[in-house]
Amino acid sequence: MTPAETRAESSPESDATTASDPVTAGGGTANGHPANGHPANGGTANGQPAPDGAPAPNGVARAGVGTLPAPSTTDPGTSPSEPATVPATEPDPAAEPARADADAGAARPRWWRRRRTDLAVFGLFLLTALWVTSQIWVDPAGRVAPLYSSDPAQVQFFLAHSVRVVLHGEFPFFTEQFNYPDGVNLMANTAILALGIPMVPVTLLFGPAVTFVVLVTLGLAGTATAWYVMLSRHVVRTPLAAVVGGWFCGFSPAMLSHASWHPNIISQFLLPFIVWRVLVLTRSTRPVRDGVLLALMVTAQAFINEEILLFTALACGVFLLAVLVQRPALWSAAWRPLGAGLAVCAVLAGALLAYPLYIQFGGPMAYHGLSDAVRDYGNDIAAFFAPGSPTIGGNQRANVNLAPNYSEENAFFGWSLGLLTVGIVLWLRREPLVRALAATGVFFAVLSLGERVSWWDRELFTGPWEWLVRLPLLDAVVPTRFGLITSVVIGVLLALAVERARSLPLDRRTVRTLTVAGLVLALLPIAPMPLHMTSRPPVPDFITADRWRGYVGPDQTLVPIPVPSMGNTHGMRWAAATNLDFKIPGGYFLAPRNGNTGDPGRFGGRPSGLGQLLEEVATTGRIPKLDDRQRRRSLDELRHWRAAILVLPVRQHHAEPLRRTVEQLVGPGRRELDVWVWDVRALTDQPA
């Protein structure tokens, strides 16, 4: 993840940092205090900052080379990086008002220039995100990513659940609106409440399909902007460096890969600030306050995506350990505020999350450990040197077998960026910060290879993940996603390289040319392209016109044909389009394998004979010949679901074989608008 570096001195354009913000350990004196006015600290001999753009003497970049925030003894109300010089002569009292007016007049243009730059950068990121999602915006309800349409349907269902939480006061962490009557543990299924609840007005006005594409767009642009803000305020001084770092963190191939399916994963706009607050704690003078701030951000992130929060915590731990290995003396000053702040964070966040986590791990339909279908997902080594599919240089066919699927391309940096990253580490290898970042990136890149390390789909040997996969919490992690941490590390390294290039002993034009050429060579092959979309069946008019309300009661279900499952999620979109006003059986979610709380997870609920039968007909188009035993079992399932009606769209693939199969089970149906309807209330109300 990101470093917690500060500049050796405040930028003239920057706001003064408070005493709770770290200062670079390497940019000060031996005791860790800022060496204001010292030439090696980026200033001139008289204590004034060097001209903007000028390299620091002795080859030290003005952004500093330290790796961990150092303790501060400055007054909390002052910036720790302000020069602490004493005037040689008494100031003229008459000149003070004029000087103050001049300083205020100069501060206002500087403040506006910074805000104008920030707005321009955010506009750039937003336009890029709109470009990436442009094919979804054409028709949000009618366009979906090819190959895997289940995840968007699931997210839309969760967004509709947020509407019910706000408008009807429904329990937020569990629902019976799908997989009825067993229900679904939403805390164990990433219900994105922290995203869905603020978006309730959009969902009510435009529907969950529009909310989905809004979240994807804002997730990409917001993540890039958040990293830009953190980098520009605390790590680098050059705006271009912060833009490059933020751009890659927001639009890396891994982020583009998840964008079509997982807005909860790409919504990482809290992560840079969580990382920064953790590192602020290493020298905080107010650890209680900083611990409270961290706890609030951790709690919010837990309701966006807990897996990404776990990755952030692990990355912070590995990075700090890598720093302390190089600078063990820093621990003596850092452990007290860090320990106090983390303790406050743990107590407060633990209190806020105690009940939701109890529901997640001990509530109804809770599971322990991921399904075997995804537990061994890992990156191929070759994936680190291939461009991602949704990029200029990407090719889906070339990426076959290099990733578990196209929604999990968590590496795919390309050869040019891979070589440039190695070159950056070698060039800046003397900086402890760069060495710590490199160690963090490599560590999680190795873990992302999974249980079996492979090269071009050829298994080589057992990976270290084999020994970690059964540990608590880690047993719920998809290992290929550790590559997301490596992506962020590369983004920060790119920002540092652009910043440090200013100190090269070359003229400005040459430096600018080399910097731009290197960035184009590395980033152009993986520049984002619009996400590829395909059409999907519309929600039937029978649903949108509320014709179903004449059949389905509050404790009954509407059964879509085929029955909702991991591969058939159209029925979940129907329910989401009505804000879950009716219940459905089945669906796409994670649940305990045998329906018992605590079992290992699997996709979907209890196995359904009727569901499997209809899914086979929908896939093959073959009409089975059913006997009385199969009919009785199917009726038993319909009674268990408390089915009111069965609904089959007339434009459903293999609709005619499905219609004739259902007629063997419950008799003839009736065409109503654009669906076939079977009213089975007379059958399901009878005792088994």
3-state per-residue secondary structure call for 361-416: HHCCCCCCCCCHHHHCCCCCHHHHHCECCCECCCCCCCCCCCCCCHHHCCCCECHH
On the question of pLDDT at 412 being above 50, the answer is yes
3-state class of 88 per DSSP? coil
Question: Cα dihedral sign for 33, 38, 41, 47?
Answer: positive
Cα–Cα distance, 116 to 103 (Å, whole number): 20
Least confident of 111-115, 357-361, 392-396, 550-554: 111-115
Taking phi first (over 0 means left), then psi (-120 to 50 degrees means alpha), and beta for anything else, what does residue 279 get? Answer: alpha
Residue 568 in any domain: the answer is: yes
Query: Average pLDDT in the 418-433 region?
Result: 96
Which of 525, 524, 580 lies closest to 548, judged by CA?
580
What percentage of the chain carries pLDDT values higher than 70? 84
Q: Which of 473, 490, 524 is the last residue of a domain?
A: 524
> Which distant-in-sequence residues (6+ apart) come within 8 Å of 627 by Cβ?
none
pLDDT at residue 107, rounded to an integer: 58
Q: Which of 472, 491, 524 is the last residue of a domain?
A: 524
Residue 77's pLDDT band, with cuts at 50, 70 and 90, is very low
pLDDT at residue 314, rounded to an integer: 97
Query: Average pLDDT in the 475-487 region?
Result: 94
Please check whether residue 643 is in contact with residue 680, taking contact to mean a CB–CB distance below 8 angstroms: yes
Q: Does 278 share its domain with 168?
A: yes
Q: Does 481 share its domain with 581?
A: no
Q: Which helix (H) or strand (E) holds 333?
A: helix 330-362
> Which amino acid would we find at residue 62?
R
Our CA dihedral for 619, 624, 630, 633, rounded to 10 degrees, sits at: 20
Which of 467, 470, 435, 471 lies closest to 451, judged by CA?
467
On the question of pLDDT at 56 being above 90, the answer is no
Count of CB atoms within 10 A of residue 606's CB? 17
pLDDT at residue 149, rounded to an integer: 77
> 351: number of CA atoms within 13 Å, CB side?
8
Query: Average pLDDT in the 269-280 region?
Result: 96
Q: Which helix (H) or strand (E) holds 573?
A: helix 570-577
pLDDT at residue 216, rounded to an integer: 97
Residue 419 in any domain: the answer is: yes
Cα–Cα distance, 476 to 25 (Å, whole number): 37
Q: Which of 490, 524, 558 is the last residue of a domain?
A: 524
Name which residue leads in pLDDT, 148 or 263. Answer: 263
Q: Does 597 share its domain with 484?
A: no
Q: Does 475 share its domain with 575?
A: no
Mean pLDDT in the chain?
85
> 123: number of CA atoms within 13 Å, CB side?
6
pLDDT at residue 21, rounded to an integer: 40
419-453 burial: b if 16+ Cβ within 10 Å, else e: ebbeebbeebeebbbbbbbbbbbebbbbbbbbbeb
Q: Does 514 share its domain with 588?
A: no
Q: Which helix (H) or strand (E) holds 675?
A: strand 675-679
On the question of pLDDT at 88 being above 70, the answer is no
On the question of pLDDT at 396 being above 90, the answer is no
Q: Does 197 share its domain with 346?
A: yes
Q: How many domains does the chain have?
A: 2
- pLDDT digit string (tens) for 449-468? 999 999 988 999 999 999 99
On the question of pLDDT at 548 being above 90, the answer is yes
> Which distant-in-sequence residues (6+ apart) come within 8 Å of 292 by Cβ?
344, 345, 348
Strand-strand pairing, 643-649 and 675-679: antiparallel
Rounded to an integer, what is the distance from CA 484 to the centroid of its chain?
9
Radius of gyration in angstroms for the set of CA atoms belonging to the chain, rounded to a whole number: 29
Query: Average pLDDT in the 78-83 region?
Result: 36
Cα–Cα distance, 598 to 367 (Å, whole number): 5
- Ranked by mean pLDDT, the top range of 141-145, 319-323, 473-477, 591-595 is 319-323
Q: Does 478 share its domain with 559?
A: no
Residue 44's pLDDT band, with cuts at 50, 70 and 90, is very low
Tokens representing 592 are: 């305990």
Strand-strand pairing, 643-649 and 557-560: parallel
Residue 423 in any domain: the answer is: yes
* Nearest-5° Cα angle at 654, 652 to 655: 55
On the question of pLDDT at 336 being above 50, the answer is yes
Query: Average pLDDT in the 401-407 region?
Result: 86
> Which amino acid would we find at residue 570?
H
Residue 71 in any domain: the answer is: no
What is the residue whose two structure tokens read 């206002």?
108
Please check whether residue 305 is in contact with residue 192, taking contact to mean a CB–CB distance below 8 angstroms: yes
Q: Does 511 share its domain with 556?
A: no
On the question of pLDDT at 8 being above 70, the answer is no
On the question of pLDDT at 362 being above 50, the answer is yes
pLDDT at residue 52, rounded to an integer: 38
For the purposes of burial, counting CB atoms within 10 Å of the CB of 616, is it exposed (0-12), middle (13-18) or buried (19 or more)?
middle
Query: Average pLDDT in the 175-180 region?
Result: 95
pLDDT at residue 113, rounded to an integer: 81
For the purposes of burial, counting CB atoms within 10 Å of the CB of 411, is it exposed (0-12), middle (13-18) or buried (19 or more)?
buried
Q: Does 663 share its domain with 602?
A: yes
- pLDDT digit string (tens) for 190-220? 999 999 999 999 999 999 999 999 999 999 9
Strand-strand pairing, 458-462 and 534-535: unpaired
On the question of pLDDT at 3 being above 50, the answer is no
Cα–Cα distances in angstroms (integers) from residue 63 to residues 8, 146, 238, in the given order: 6, 45, 9
pLDDT at residue 2, rounded to an integer: 39
On the question of pLDDT at 224 being above 50, the answer is yes
HEC letters along 38-65:
CHHHCECCCCCECCCCCCCHHHCCCCCC
277-289 burial: b if 16+ Cβ within 10 Å, else e: bbbbbbbbbbbee
Alpha helices, DSSP H, located in 133-238: 134-137, 150-168, 193-196, 200-206, 208-234
Q: 677 forms bridges with which residues in the sheet?
A: 647, 670
Residue 660 in any domain: the answer is: yes
Cα–Cα distances in angstroms (integers) from residue 433 to residues 68, 235, 239, 683, in the given order: 8, 11, 20, 70
Residue 24 in any domain: the answer is: no
Peptide bond into 528 cis (omega under 30): no
Least confident of 59-63, 590-594, 598-602: 59-63
160-172 burial: b if 16+ Cβ within 10 Å, else e: bbbbbbbeeebeb
Residue 142 phi/psi, 5° resolution? -110, 5
Name which residue leads in pLDDT, 575 or 396. Answer: 575
Name which residue leads in pLDDT, 13 or 536. Answer: 536
Q: Does 511 share its domain with 593?
A: no
Least confident of 95-109, 412-426, 602-616: 95-109
Please give the residue range of the domain that contains residue 243. Answer: 128-365+376-524
Residue 338 in any domain: the answer is: yes
pLDDT at residue 371, rounded to an integer: 77
Strand-strand pairing, 643-649 and 670-672: unpaired
> Which amino acid would we find at residue 204?
L
pLDDT at residue 97, rounded to an integer: 52
What percentage of the chain carries pLDDT values higher than 90? 70
pLDDT at residue 109, rounded to an integer: 74
pLDDT at residue 414, rounded to an integer: 93
Cα end-to-end distance, the chain, whole Å:
58
Q: Does 493 share its domain with 552?
A: no
Residue 230 in any domain: the answer is: yes
Tokens representing 74 are: 């400055």
Q: Does 411 share its domain with 286?
A: yes
Query: Average pLDDT in the 15-44 region?
Result: 38
Q: Which helix (H) or strand (E) holds 519?
A: helix 508-523
